Every structure is written in C-alpha cells, then in structure tokens.
Amino acid sequence: MGDLYRADMGLMEIIALLFYRKKCPNCKSKLRHINNMMFKKRGSTVINSVNHYGDIYSVKFSYRCDKYDKEIQLLDLTKSK
C-alpha cells in the first residue's frame, strides 16, 4: 500500500523526452522541467507485472518557458524546426 506514480506517455512523447533538445519551440530558450502530478484514483494497478494497490497518480513531463511563462508539452518539442 502506498502512492503509485505512473507516467502516461505515448511513443512520440518518449522519443521527445530522450532525443529532443529541451528548448522552447518559439524562442529557443532553455526550458525548465516541471512535473505535473494528477491524482487519478485509489485502486490497483499493474506495474512491471506486479499488482499494486494505493493512490494512483499520473505523472506528466512538461516544461516551462520562463520567457513567456508558457507551458510546453513534450510533443511540442517535436514540432520545433
């Protein structure tokens, strides 16, 4: 029993996380990493084929451009030129 964190990411998001520079698509300045945690539910979930029970949070990787105070999603990184 404990808090569970799950990263809900699609393939493109994982690729963006691993291979793309964390730079603002708009102004090219360095992005600050922020963690967004969203409470989803209390219940059981399967992580690495082990069943866990507890509070489930969904973790989202996002970034923030301090210049324009704008939140940048991982997928936005793949759209930069």
Binding residues vs Zn ion (CB under 5 A): 24, 26-27, 65, 67-68
Tell the smallest beta-carbon distance from residue 8 to Zn ion (Å). Answer: 25
26 vs 44 by CB, closer to Zn ion: 26
22 vs 52 by CB, closer to Zn ion: 22
24 vs 56 by CB, closer to Zn ion: 24
Tell the smallest beta-carbon distance from residue 57 to Zn ion (Å). Answer: 28
Residue by residue, DSSP assigns the chain as -EEEEEE---HHHHHHHHHS--B-TTT-PBPEEEEEEEEEEEEEEEETTEEEEEEEEEEEEEEEETTTTEEEEHHHHTT--
Tell the smallest beta-carbon distance from residue 70 to Zn ion (Å). Answer: 6
